[in-house]
Amino acid sequence: MIAKISRGWRAGGLVRYLMGAGRFNEHTNQHVVASWDGDPQRHQPQRRPDGEFDVARLVDELTEAAEAAGIAQTPPPTVTGQRVPRGPVWHCSLRNSATDRVLTDAEWAEVVEDLMDRTGIAARGDLGGCRWVAIRHADDHVHIAAVLVRQDNGRRVHPRNDYLRAREVCRDAEQRYGLSTTAPADRTAAEPATRAEQEKALRRGETETSREWLRRAARIAAVQAQDPEEFFRRLADQGVAVLPREMPPGQLVGYALAAPGDTNADGMPVWFSGRSLARDLSLPKLLERWASAAPPAQPLPPEAHERARVGAAERAEAVVDAISAVEHATAALAAGERDVAASVAHAAGDMVTAVCTVTGKASELDRVQWEVAERFDRAVRTPGVG
């Protein structure tokens, strides 16, 4: 079971879509399977003569607390470069694998009620919690629409770690109902590109999004650098726009990157913070990494007796050294020493990045190598640490 969560402003638009025919008439048997008051049938919209569902009463009930508290339900105007704040409408979809058995409405209701309880949006027994409904219009999934305003005092509700709580609910439901199992919540995973970013890349004729391109550029620069100044210089050499963040002036606390030519509707660069690219690319993580790295070896001047070619003996010695290093690293990993294991893993990740940077010449080879590097990056992250 997979959960996807988003935030918005207009409950009416969301409910109308969920109870509507869908973009390709894929919605069938649209009905409410669960609600905040435990009486979903009471909130089931009726069909109008034109065949559409009349959702006006349901929307009014969902937004009643927000209306009474005077909480805005449309996004405020923003100035150039300012991010639009998250609205009070919370939307979550829960979807099973196509190979799973079809859950009953009662089973879906149980899953949804568990989700509302764990996220704190509407805890069990809390009569003043937020109002929400779960709508089903297909065999394999349901949608939850909630307005994040308490009924009893009109205060906004800000769910903490709702993504993690949703993952836990899905995992428990998989065990309870015998569904296909999925991975536990990944606290270290790099932020995936959004649908809007993917569509923008397609319009620009790019094979990857700005987020993905910047993540790779930052990893390359991080491997090559020993400090922030060199890191920023290496990024600039790759054509990346760099915006250091200082607070107070003179004290570096973070940075943001922008891809060349990637601008918003106002023509301003689209910036990504290091942490939004990946947890281990935040400035504090990079500083830790550089501080723990051994200083680079000083190159030795060539001597007259040195040969231009490497002989069999030298190659054999290099192989023996490499095998020894791998054996020591394997022993450290097997010993379960968390700090040592993390260092070994990150060093291996740096090696893969360096190899891809040096040897990735042909476009197809470059693509395959970086796919391997991305997979290895996920494998080497320490759970919960990054």
Domains (range + CATH), the chain: 2-177 (3.30.930), 191-294 (no CATH), 314-386 (no CATH)
pLDDT top residue among 221 and 341:
221
Q: Render pLDDT for 212-256 as a digit per residue (tens, 0 to 9).
A: 999 999 999 998 899 999 999 999 999 999 999 988 778 899 999
pTM for the model stands at: 0.57
pLDDT top residue among 87 and 346:
87
Instruction: Give dist(CA 95, CA 176) in Å, integer.
Output: 15
Instruction: Give dist(CA 173, CA 110) in Å, integer.
Output: 9
Task: Look at residue 349 in the predicted model and tell me its pLDDT.
Answer: 58
Q: Render pLDDT for 318-332 as a digit per residue (tens, 0 to 9).
A: 667 666 666 666 666
Mean pLDDT confidence for 95-105 = 96
- C-alpha of 101 from chain center: 28
CA–CA distance from 150 to each of 38, 126, 155 (Å)? 17, 10, 5
Instruction: Give dist(CA 260, CA 240) in Å, integer.
Output: 6
Within 25-153, strands assigned E span: 31-35, 46-47, 53-54, 89-95, 131-136, 141-147
Kindly state the helix (H) or strand (E) to which residue 110 belongs, with its residue range: helix 105-119
Taking Cα atoms as reference points, which of 31, 24, 26, 36 lies closest to residue 47?
Answer: 31
Q: Render pLDDT for 44-59 as a digit per residue (tens, 0 to 9).
A: 999 999 999 999 999 9
Q: Cis check for the bond before 248: say yes or no (omega within 30 of 0).
A: yes
Task: Look at residue 127 in the predicted model and tell me its pLDDT.
Answer: 92
pLDDT at 73 over 70: yes
Q: Residue 143: which pLDDT band, with cuts at 50, 70 and 90?
A: very high
Task: Look at residue 242 in the predicted model and tell me its pLDDT.
Answer: 96
